[in-house]
Amino acid sequence: MPAPPPADQPVVAPQEPQAGAVVAIEVEGLQKRYGDFYAVKGVSFAVPEGETFGFLGPNGAGKSTTINMLCTLVDPTAGTGRVAGFDIVSHRAQVRRNIGLVFQDPTLDEYLTAEENLRFHAELYGVPKDVVGERLRQVMEMVGLWDRRKSLVRTYSGGMKRRLEIGRGLLHSPRVLFLDEPTVGLDPQTRSSIWGYINELKRQENITIFLTTHYMDEAEYCDRIAIMNEGEIVVLDTPEALKASVGKDRVQIQTADDGAAILALKDRFGLDSAVREGQVMFSVVGGEQFVPRLFAELGVPIRSVSVARPSLDDVFMAYTGTTIRDAESSNTDRMRTNPFVRARR
Amino acid sequence: MTASSATPSATPSATTTAAPGGRAAPAAVRVAGGTWADDLRAMRMVWKRELIRFFRNRTRIVTSLVQPILFLFVLGTGLSSITRGLPSGVNFKTFMFPGILCMAVLFTAIFSAVSIVWDREFGFMREMLVAPVRRSSIVVGKTLGGATVAAFQGAVMLALAGLVHVPYSLPLMATLVVELLLVAIALTAFGTMLASRMEQVESFQVVMQFFVLPMFFLSGALFPLSGLPVWLRVLTRLDPLTYGVDPMRRAVFNHLGLPRATVAKLAPGVTWGGWRVPTLLELGIVVAMGASMLAVAIWQFSKVE
């Protein structure tokens, strides 16, 4: 069971969906154990229909295991889950018919054309014959690949393949689309274009999206985020609320004399600061309101000021006491020593 | 996309509604399923994919015929010089022909099984395994697809019958095609079973080396099954392929118009302790082997993830 969060951190219970909203995903005490290794230590949450819900956390935090349980690919050790109203253990086929899956690793047949890949999917998911053609065109246009439908998938770029997989995941009009690290391994430009497509399809299809990512900036696209670390949900809220809960804004100033500025910040405001990348940086509550005081009282000429709201990086740091990168390397060690996890890779 | 005319479906469970005069709303898919018709549809698609992939890969079609052709015409011709003593002037290539048909089927069937391991390595297996259909429909579709391709290769070899003095008589050809198909299904099922738990193509190739050539050599494709030392006789009787080669050889020799004694010498049939196993039982063994290996394969696949 998840340990209670430390007292100095806000306790965020899994949120109940808003009244009247239809629940797309409902999870209670979901747990997965391999031997004596707990990949997921009992998580509970609910996702209302139409929401984009993100699992954020380092590699090895248990995100993929959770997604695999929700997709009926892995049996939970304990706990229950319902997706699109169907139990993930007793009604697998119904769950699968109602979800779209885009995995971390590609699952396309590269020696078939894009269209053939999609037709294969349509047949296996029982898409009614009279709508296959129309639906195929819809999703291929949505992901911008209609003109390339006759090309072998092996001639596609990485971003195109990922788009095709997203399109394929939508082909059978699922009610929930699972995206496991949808942009991993893609260059930044392709990543943002993938996000453009995801937002567009959400607008068109009114679909619930459940995604995992370990890119902090991508979590911002979500309506709500659960931060996962070491098999537990550390916190669950909207990106704005999470950032607000961290409280402090990050202020960066350029001054005529950085040394004097650092001393003055300590003396007059009691703030710790440091020089990073040629700028004096510090954190303060209500950064925008602080700026006028700063100009009035610092006593050192200021050339420029920038105030940044806390990023999800800061949030992750605040709730786990570690950066996502450090957590990743320690998780790798944690898994490396566990034979069960290693055997599955 | 013409975004303006798209009507996003507001209802939670989408229903097929064409927006009047405009682009259709997201086409819906029914929630129900899990019927036999769905499984058959999936099976047919998995089967079709094997055919699409095979006929797109011309190199594979040609190269997998190279080995049987080498055996038949190079080895066959070479050995003909020292096998001139065959009764009634029967050419050694004629004798080998049924075995070579099986060889073409064997190699292609096993190659089809390798594609299962490839699919796993390249992730496409996952796309199939997560589909909301019975696993067995995937496994059977895959096996029948591989078998169709293997039987096709056998049929291509069969077309060369005239070159090795086997007559193109309709009953003979029909018999051989049916037998090829049965052997193809059994051998592909065998390959599917072996591939069901394999993760790497390399390890599959090692296992294949272990089975393919011994199966071929012990099947009696290259020599008659009578008058063998005990150890070899036992091994040949244990080889499932033996029960595929023998019916085909009997069929061929029964259509050559040879004296009974010659047929008895060159196509003596498979004997169990002196009892000659009838053709139908032999084919029954092939079918039973195929069915049980397919059952094991299905069971293995049902355990994966």
In three-state secondary structure terms, B272 is strand
Q: Are B94 and B100 in contact (CB under 8 A)?
A: no
CA distances from B146 to A9, A280, B76, B140, B302 (A): 60, 68, 28, 10, 20
Structural domain contains residue B195: yes
Structural domain contains residue A322: no
A106 contacts B122? CB cut-off 8 A: yes
- Give residue A15's pLDDT: 44
Structural domain contains residue A317: no
Q: Flag whether residue A201 sits within 8 Å of chain B, measured between CB atoms.
A: no
Residues 6+ apart with CB under 8 A from A114: A140, A145, A148, A149, A150, A151, A153, A156, A164
A94 contacts B29? CB cut-off 8 A: no
In three-state secondary structure terms, A13 is coil
Looking at residue A151, the DSSP 8-state letter turns out to be S
Same domain assignment for residues A187 and A262: no
Same domain assignment for residues A254 and A227: no
Number of domains in chain A: 2
Residues on chain B touching A172 (C-beta within 8 angstroms): 29
Q: Which residue of A has its CA nearest to B129?
A: A73
- Give residue A21's pLDDT: 53
Same domain assignment for residues A165 and A263: no
Same domain assignment for residues A65 and A183: yes
Residues on chain A touching B57 (C-beta within 8 angstroms): 111
Same domain assignment for residues A32 and A58: yes
- Give residue A334's pLDDT: 53
Structural domain contains residue A120: yes
Identify the CA nearest to A228 among candidates A211, A206, A204, A243. A211
Structural domain contains residue A17: no
CA distances from B52 to A60, A117, B45, B146 (A): 39, 11, 10, 11
Structural domain contains residue A64: yes
- What values do phi and psi take at A224, rounded to 5? -140, 155
* Residues in chain A, pLDDT under 50: 1-20, 336, 338-345
Structural domain contains residue A131: yes
Structural domain contains residue B10: no
Structural domain contains residue B272: yes
Amino acid at B263: V
Residues on chain A touching B127 (C-beta within 8 angstroms): 107-109, 120-121, 124
The distance of B146 to chain A (nearest Cα, Å) reads: 16
Same domain assignment for residues A270 and A222: no
- Give residue A86's pLDDT: 92
- Give residue A120's pLDDT: 96
Using only C-alpha atoms, chain A has a radius of gyration, in whole angstroms, of: 23
Among partner residues B8, B12, B305, which is closest to A73 by beta-carbon distance? Answer: B305
B29 contacts A128? CB cut-off 8 A: yes
ipTM of the predicted structure? 0.83
The distance of A37 to chain B (nearest Cα, Å) reads: 18
Q: Flag whether residue B131 sits within 8 Å of chain A, measured between CB atoms.
A: yes
* Residues in chain B, pLDDT under 50: 1-32
Residue A271, domain CATH:
3.30.70.260
Q: Which of A185, A217, A243 is the last residue of a domain?
A: A243
Q: Put residue A142 in one of left, alpha, beta given phi > 0 → left and psi -120 to 50 → alpha.
A: alpha
Same domain assignment for residues A172 and A295: no
Identify the CA nearest to A192 among candidates A220, A155, A227, A230. A220
The distance of B53 to chain A (nearest Cα, Å) reads: 7
Among partner residues B31, B46, B133, which is closest to A98 by beta-carbon distance? Answer: B31
Q: Quote the tokens at residue B119.
A: 């699919």
Identify the CA nearest to A134 among candidates B28, B46, B1, B10. B28
Among partner residues A103, A107, A173, which is closest to B29 by beta-carbon distance? Answer: A173
- Give residue B268's pLDDT: 83
- Give residue A311's pLDDT: 77
Task: Look up the domain containing A80 and give its range.
Answer: 23-243
- Give residue B103's pLDDT: 93
pLDDT tens-digit readout, B49-105: 999 999 998 888 888 899 899 999 999 888 887 776 666 678 889 999 999 999 999
**CA torsion, points B206, B211, B217, B220, in degrees to nearest 10?**
-160
Residues on chain B touching A34 (C-beta within 8 angstroms): none
Structural domain contains residue B22: no
Same domain assignment for residues A257 and A239: no
Q: Which residue of A has its CA nearest to B38?
A: A126
Same domain assignment for residues A149 and A228: yes
Q: Which of A243, A262, A290 is the last residue of a domain?
A: A243
Number of domains in chain B: 1
Structural domain contains residue B4: no
pTM summary value: 0.79
Same domain assignment for residues A38 and A117: yes
Residue A57, domain CATH:
3.40.50.300
Same domain assignment for residues A164 and A269: no
Q: Which residues of A, range 62-101, sit inside 8 Å of B by Cβ?
A: 71, 73-74, 92-94, 96-98, 101
Structural domain contains residue A86: yes
Instruction: Give the E-state strand segments of chain B in sequence order.
Output: 271-272, 275-276
pLDDT tens-digit readout, B230-256: 999 999 999 999 999 999 999 999 888
Q: Which residues of A, range 113-142, sit inside 8 Å of B by Cβ?
A: 116, 119-121, 123-128, 131, 134-135, 138, 141-142
Structural domain contains residue A11: no
Q: Which of A226, A243, A260 is the last residue of a domain?
A: A243
Q: Flag whether residue B34 sits within 8 Å of chain A, measured between CB atoms.
A: yes
Task: Look up the domain containing B120 and give its range.
Answer: 36-303
